[in-house]
C-alpha cells in the first residue's frame, strides 16, 4: 500500500477530517478550496492523493495541511503514466475509476491508522461510506456540482437498487422542474451519458447515486442565495443533512500569464476580449472547432481560444487539425492554441470581458468573480444543468443556439451569442449583464464565505456528535 509518510505540518486539533477526492482536477480543486477554508478555522485536515499529483496540489493547498499518498493499482488497459482524467477520453477515465475502486484496502488501512472523525469523499468512491462505518467514522459526500445537478439524480427517488419510476416522482421545486421541461433531445442524451459504464464497472451516475444514498451527510458547493429552493428539496428528499459549503471562490493563483499572452491582452481596451476554453476534460469535434473559431471571428471582438483534443486522438489527425485551426486569426486580433493556460488570471485580466465555455461549475464561478459575461455550450453530464441554472433560472448568461436533436451549432450562432452579451444595444444582453453583476455582488459580499464555512463546521460537529 501507499506510504504513510506525510508532507506538511502536524497540529493538535479536536476535529480531524480526511479529504479524499477523485482523480479529476475539476474535483480536486474544490476539495483543496474546502480544505483551506476548514484549516483556516482550526480543523485538522489530511489530504489523500497520488504522489504524482502532489506538486500541482501543493501549489494551491494550505502549506500546513499534510498530504498523504496512496498508490494506484495496475489495471488492464490503463497506461502507468495516466494519473488523472485531464486529457483523457471516457475509456481511460472509466479505467481510472476502476483503479480507484481497487485502492479500497489501502484507504481502509489509512483511515484505520489516522482515525479521523470524518472522511469527505468524492462521487466516484461510493464504497467509502461502508469502509467508514466499519471504522466508526462519519462519511460526508462532497458534491462539487450545483444543487440543481445533485437534485436531478433523486428526482425519481432513486437509490442504488431502484429503477426510475413515475410512482416515486415527487413534485420538485420550480427551478428543477423548469429545467427539465425545457430540455432538448441532445441535452437529455448528454446528461444520460453518465449512466453508461464500461463493461461490468458501475457508471458515474450509479456511483453518484450510491454516494448520496449511503453517506451520513452531503456537503454541497453552493449557497442559498443562488439555489435556496433546490437545497431545501435535496435535504427533504435525501432525509439526511445537506450542508452548503459556499461556492468556495479560490484566491488569486500564484504565477503570471505567459508574457506573450499578457503583451497581446494588454493591446485591447477594457472588457473587449473574448476568452474561450472548454476545460481539460470536455472536447469539441474538429468540425465544431472550425465553426466556433469562425464564429468568434464573426463576432467582431478580439478573442483567445484554448482548444484541446483527448489523448487518444491519433497524432496525425491532431496535427492536421492544429495546422488548419490554430495560430493567429483576424489579422492578429485572434489567437487559437492548445495546452494549458492560467485560466483564473486570464478571466481576471482587465481586457477580458466575455467567456465562451462548457458550463463547468468552477469555471462559471471564476468567470463571474472576474466580471466576465458568459456564453455557454455544455457538452456532457452536469454541464447541462449548470447551463440551465445560469441561463434559465438566474438569467445571468446566454447559451449558443444549437440544433435540437444533435446539439450542432453554427458559426452564426456563436457570433450572435457573443454579441448579445457584449454589445450594449441588446435588450436581452442588458438583462443578462445586470443579473451577472448582481450575482457577482452577492458572491463577493464580505463575510459570506466565512459565514458558510463556520456554519458548515458547526453542522459537521453536530454530525460527529450524533449516534
Pick 88 or 39 by higher pLDDT: 39
| Confidence bin at 98 (pLDDT 50/70/90) | very high
Q: What residues contact residue 435 under an 8 Å CB cut-off, 6+ apart?
A: 394, 395, 396
Average pLDDT over residues 191-217: 79
pLDDT of residue 144 exceeding 90, the answer is yes
CATH 3.40.50.2000 at 6-249+446-465, yes or no: yes
Per-residue pLDDT at 199: 61
Instruction: Answer with the residue of higher pLDDT: 154 or 12.
Output: 154
Other beta carbons less than 10 A from residue 340's beta carbon: 10
Phi, psi (5° rounding) for residue 341? -135, 160
- What's the pTM? 0.88
Q: What is the mean pLDDT of the chain?
A: 89
Q: What is the mean pLDDT of residues 194-219?
A: 81
Residues 6+ apart with CB under 8 A from 57: 28, 32, 47, 49, 67
The predicted pLDDT at position 161 comes to 47
Higher pLDDT pick, 404 / 237:
404
Which class for 338: exposed (0-12), middle (13-18), buried (19 or more C-beta within 10 A)?
Answer: middle
Higher per-residue confidence, 202 vs 329? 329
Asked if residue 14 has pLDDT above 50, the reply is yes
- Angle among Cα 74, 76, 80 to the nearest 5 degrees reads 45
**259-443 — its CATH code?**
3.40.50.2000
Question: Is residue 56 within a helix (H) or strand (E), and if so which, with residue range?
Answer: helix 54-60
How far is the CA of 440 from the CAs of 81, 137, 188, 368, 426, in angstroms? 40, 37, 29, 6, 21
Q: How far apart are CA 329 and CA 301, in angstroms?
A: 11
Q: What is the mean pLDDT of residues 269-277?
A: 97
Give tens-digit pLDDT for 51-91: 999 999 999 999 999 999 999 999 998 888 888 887 677 78
Task: Please give the angle made by the CA atoms of 77, 145 and 446, to the nearest 5 degrees.
Answer: 135
Angle in degrees, CA 286, 290, 296, rounded to 5:
140
The more confidently predicted of residues 311 and 463 is 463
* SS (HEC) of 411-457: HHHHHHHHHHHHCCCCHHHHHHHHHHHHHHHHHCCCCHHHHHHHHHH
Domain with CATH 3.40.50.2000 in the chain: 6-249+446-465, 259-443
What pLDDT, on the 0 to 100 scale, is given for residue 12? 45
pLDDT of residue 170: 54
Amino acid at each position: 500500500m501507499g506510504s504513510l509518510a506525510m508532507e506538511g505540518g502536524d497540529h493538535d486539533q479536536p476535529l480531524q477530517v480526511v479529504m479524499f477526492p477523485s482523480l479529476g482536477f475539476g474535483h480536486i480543486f474544490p476539495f483543496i478550496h474546502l480544505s483551506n477554508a476548514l484549516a483556516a478555522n482550526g480543523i485538522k485536515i489530511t489530504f489523500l492523493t497520488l504522489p504524482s499529483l502532489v506538486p500541482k496540489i501543493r501549489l494551491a493547498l494550505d502549506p500546513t495541511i499534510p498530504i498523504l499518498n496512496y498508490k494506484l493499482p495496475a489495471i488492464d488497459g490503463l497506461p502507468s503514466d495516466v494519473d488523472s482524467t485531464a486529457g483523457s477520453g471516457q475509456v481511460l477515465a472509466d479505467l481510472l475509476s476502476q483503479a480507484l475502486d481497487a485502492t479500497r484496502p489501502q484507504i481502509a488501512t489509512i483511515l484505520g491508522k489516522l482515525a479521523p472523525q470524518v472522511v469527505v469523499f468524492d462521487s466516484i468512491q461510493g464504497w467509502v461510506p461502508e469502509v467508514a462505518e466499519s471504522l466508526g467514522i462519519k462519511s460526508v459526500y462532497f458534491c462539487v456540482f450545483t444543487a440543481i445537478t445533485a437534485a436531478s439524480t433523486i428526482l425519481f427517488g432513486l437509490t442504488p437498487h431502484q429503477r426510475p419510476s413515475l410512482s416515486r416522482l415527487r413534485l420538485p421545486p420550480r427551478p428543477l422542474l423548469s429545467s427539465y421541461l425545457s430540455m432538448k433531445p441532445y441535452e437529455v442524451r448528454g446528461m444520460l451519458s453518465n449512466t453508461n459504464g464500461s463493461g461490468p464497472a458501475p457508471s458515474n451516475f450509479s456511483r453518484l447515486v450510491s454516494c448520496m444514498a449511503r453517506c451520513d451527510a452531503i456537503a454541497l458547493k453552493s449557497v442559498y442565495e443562488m439555489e435556496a429552493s433546490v437545497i431545501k428539496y435535496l435535504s427533504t428528499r435525501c432525509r439526511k443533512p445537506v450542508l452548503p459549503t459556499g461556492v468556495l471562490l479560490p484566491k488569486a493563483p500564484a504565477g503570471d500569464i505567459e508574457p506573450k499572452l499578457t503583451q497581446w491582452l494588454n493591446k485591447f481596451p477594457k472588457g473587449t476580449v473574448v476568452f474561450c476554453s472548454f476545460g481539460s476534460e470536455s472536447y469539441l469535434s474538429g468540425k465544431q472547432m472550425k465553426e466556433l473559431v469562425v464564429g468568434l471571428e464573426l463576432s467582431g471582438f478580439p478573442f483567445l481560444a484554448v482548444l484541446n483534443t483527448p489523448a487518444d486522438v491519433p497524432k496525425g489527425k491532431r496535427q492536421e487539425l492544429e495546422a488548419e485551426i490554430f495560430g493567429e486569426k483576424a489579422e492578429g486580433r485572434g489567437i487559437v492554441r492548445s495546452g494549458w493556460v492560467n485560466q483564473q488570471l486570464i478571466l481576471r485580466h482587465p481586457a477580458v470581458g466575455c467567456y465562451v465555455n462548457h458550463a463547468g461549475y468552477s469555471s462559471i464561478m471564476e468567470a463571474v468573480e472576474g466580471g466576465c459575461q458568459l456564453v455557454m455550450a455544455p457538452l456532457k453530464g452536469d454541464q447541462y444543468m449548470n447551463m440551465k441554472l445560469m441561463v434559465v433560472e438566474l438569467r445571468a448568461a446566454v447559451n449558443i443556439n444549437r440544433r435540437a436533436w444533435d446539439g450542432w451549432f453554427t458559426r452564426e450562432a456563436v457570433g450572435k451569442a457573443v454579441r448579445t452579451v457584449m454589445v450594449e444595444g441588446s435588450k436581452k444582453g442588458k438583462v443578462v449583464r445586470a443579473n451577472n453583476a448582481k450575482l457577482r455582488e452577492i458572491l463577493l459580499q464580505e463575510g459570506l464565505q466565512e459565514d458558510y464555512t463556520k456554519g458548515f463546521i458547526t453542522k459537521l460537529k453536530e454530525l460527529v456528535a450524533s449516534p
